[in-house]
Amino acid sequence: MKAPEKIAFTASDYPPAREALAQLTGRYGNVPPQEADVIVALGGDGFMLHTLHATQDLDIPVYGMNRGTVGFLMNAYGEDDLPERLARAEEAVLNPLRMKAQTVNGEQHTALAINEVSLLRAGPQAAKLRITVDDKVRLDELVADGVMLATPAGSTAYNYSAHGPILPIGSDVLALTAVAPFRPRRWRGALLPKTARVRFDVLEHEKRPIMAEADGRAVKDVKWVEVHSDPETRHRILFDPGHGLEERLILEQFA
């Protein structure tokens, strides 16, 4: 892209992020996101996800600079030559997961998830779930602390900590991963095509309450959850050359 003339800066509440916001806006100015050529997010991965969700209807690329902790989705922080860095940045386009959940009292909720949709036990007893893929029951009963469906971009996050696979960007694959499975003992999840539509039915929901989360946004006491990739929604993320998502996912496997 050409060097942007109008930059929108946004920052988390973390003090280093607020300090960076003051420095950068004083140096490069600041415009509202809807008027910007590019959005610069200052914080950590959680704030980057928040920014992507908040600006998903603008079709404006987001460039993150790490003022948080891990910063997997962020670039290194630097105040100098920012327009030139933005002009050289490489773009990755991500399609989120769309979650539809119905609670035990009949309420329906929808949400988008860039990383993963997870179902987690909300009580002392393990979750008991039935898993259906493209209208065919694939697992009659999973007893576990939970289960998740993760995108390639999210495969190094909660999915990886639950021993799920790291997925290459552009692989058109989703990871279905159990969290501390008890039955079946040997089930370690599955790789599904990006086009798959996955349904989770909560068994014995009165005894074993479940909550569903889409990138940390929770719906309590769910009865069933349906998840599929949403190709109509596009998140545009910018990375410094040589430090894009594909390279980062490879590096994670050799760390």
Residues with catalytic function:
45
Helix (H) / strand (E) containing 42: strand 38-43
Give the CA count within 13 Å in the CB-facing half-sphere of 134.
6
Going by C-alpha positions, the residue among 225, 222, 207, 43 that lies closest to residue 117 is: 225
Rg of the chain, C-alpha, whole Å = 19
Helix (H) / strand (E) containing 145: strand 136-150
User: Which residues contact residue 2 at a Cβ distance below 8 angstroms, ignoring those fewer than 6 apart?
Assistant: 87
Which tokens in the block code for residue 217? 């946004």
d(CA 23, CA 14): 15
d(CA 33, CA 42): 14
In single-letter form, the type of residue at position 246 comes to E
Which tokens in the block code for residue 145? 């602390």
Helix (H) / strand (E) containing 159: helix 158-161
Going by C-alpha positions, the residue among 147, 209, 157 that lies closest to residue 183 is: 147
In single-letter form, the type of residue at position 132 comes to T
d(CA 216, CA 3): 34
* Cα–chain center distance at 131: 21
